[in-house]
Amino acid sequence: MTQFNAALEERLIRYAAVDTQSDESSSTSPSTAIQLDLARMLEAELTRIGAQDVRITEYGAVLATIPGTVEGGPVIGLLAHMDTAPAYNATGVKPRVIRGYNGGEITFPDAPSLRLTPEAAPYLAEKVGHDIITASGTTLLGADDKAGIAILMTMAEQLLADASIPHGTLRIAFTPDEEIGHGVDARMPADLGADFAYTLDGGAVGEIEYETFSADGAKVKVVGVSTHPGTAKGKMVNALHLAAKIIEMLPQATETPEVTGGRDGFWHITNMGGTAAECEMSIILRDFERDGLAARGEMLRKVCEAVAATEPRATITCEIKPQYRNMRYWLENDMTPVELARAACRAEGIEPLSVPIRGGTDGSRLTEMGVPCPNIFTGMQEIHGPLEWISVQDMAVATRVCLRLVRDAVRQG
């Protein structure tokens, strides 16, 4: 089936070319003004296809309404995020299409030594004959989550063009700053006005996810004693050396991202900068359970205290702030949104799969704030790096599942 393929391909390529990288060090909302470039594009596109109540909020989200064609049923929110991850270069993205993938290795024009192979990425081996979109090798692609935007925009266009498809009122939201944990503003639940919602921010076809990490973020600041290195004996306290000791004392063999999987939690240093006089580290803490997350925070505090005790002239502070919590804690009390999505998959001939997300989504925060919000697949793979890719046909499947979901939800309602 080729329905939606051309529209999805065109949209993803157009959206991916717009730099929307978020910035965790920023205090503005959205964190980068460039995200508004895409927001304005999406606002104009939603208006052009006939959506109602289209606006960009003060916090940078694009909101719109797809009016229902029938009375009754729940108001469903559908979300995708505009920003791309700060973890890898996202400036100058050049999307390209490998038409009718032949099953071999994929090379990249701007990085000749880079290879994407089905041996290293087994899901790719299942996509022979598909149209594969990648970047050119020096940037990420941004299918996370511009694929979600393309899917929702294509679905909205179909519903607005064909009034014969039964569905209730739908609320569309394209959010900024999801990648830095700021995608859901405190005003979002009221602005969205949905009974429940879905994020389109998942991976392989069939994934319907209702469990995420719980997450905290830590800032560790080390203030040493600065003096000229030529006369530093007995005087200097090097903040960078103390920071290195903190990292060295944290468990690395068993509790970092590169050695954990499944339901294992981790700590992860995302940024470290400063001078011998003063430096700061950003560390994220992740676990599926509240107790495990709290234990990781306590471990970090104790390590900081232990290093501080070795050098009383230094000052070491550790501030830990909540980021998001496992959506399972709320969704397991009412699995209706999850079961609707699973049923839509089965109706489209797809067996749904629910695995815990080793990360978070806007749905984590929305669910915690009272709007149940599981996650639906888009097809995105190898995200946050130069090997990122997606199948156009997978995106089309996600579009059909979303159309089926909103149609069946109103019938059940």
Cα–Cα distance for residue pair 390/96, rounded to 1 Å: 11
Cα–Cα distance for residue pair 105/355, rounded to 1 Å: 28
Q: Is the dihedral of CA 204, 209, 213, 216 positive or negative?
A: positive
By three-state DSSP, how is residue 222 classified? strand
Residues facing 254 on adjacent strands:
none
Cis check for the bond before 145: say yes or no (omega within 30 of 0): yes
- pLDDT tens digit string along 198-208? 999 999 999 99
- Catalytic pick among 19, 45, 178, 207: 178
For the beta carbon of residue 123, count every other beta carbon within 10 angstroms: 16
Residue pointed to by tokens 């704030």: 369
Q: What are phi and psi of 394, to 5 degrees?
A: -65, -40
Residue pointed to by tokens 């009016």: 67
Consecutive 10-residue averages of pLDDT for the chain (413 residues):
90 98 92 98 98 98 97 94 95 98 97 96 98 98 98 98 96 96 94 98 97 96 96 96 97 95 95 96 96 97 98 97 94 96 98 93 94 98 97 98 96 66
| pLDDT number for residue 370 | 96
Say whether 178 is catalytic: yes
The two structure tokens encoding residue 222: 């080390």
- pLDDT tens digit string along 323-342? 999 999 999 999 999 999 99
Q: Which of 217, 200, 175, 214 is nearest to 328 (CA)?
A: 214
Q: Which of 305, 245, 242, 236 is nearest to 274 (CA)?
A: 242
Q: Could you give the residue ranges of the DSSP H alpha helices within 311-335? A: 328-331
The two structure tokens encoding residue 118: 């089905």
User: What is the length of the chain?
Assistant: 413
- Catalytic pick among 83, 145, 207, 287: 83
Q: Do residues 213 and 357 lie in contact, with contact meaning Cβ atoms separated by under 8 Å? A: yes
Pairing of strands 278-287, 315-324: unpaired
Q: What are phi and psi of 275, to 5 degrees?
A: -130, 180
Q: Could you give the residue ranges of the DSSP H alpha helices within 281-360? A: 290-310, 328-331, 336-347
Identity of the amino acid at 234: G
Cα–Cα distance for residue pair 410/413, rounded to 1 Å: 5
The domains found in the chain, sorted by start residue, are 5-212+326-412 (3.40.630.10), 214-323 (3.30.70.360)
Cα–Cα distance for residue pair 142/268, rounded to 1 Å: 23
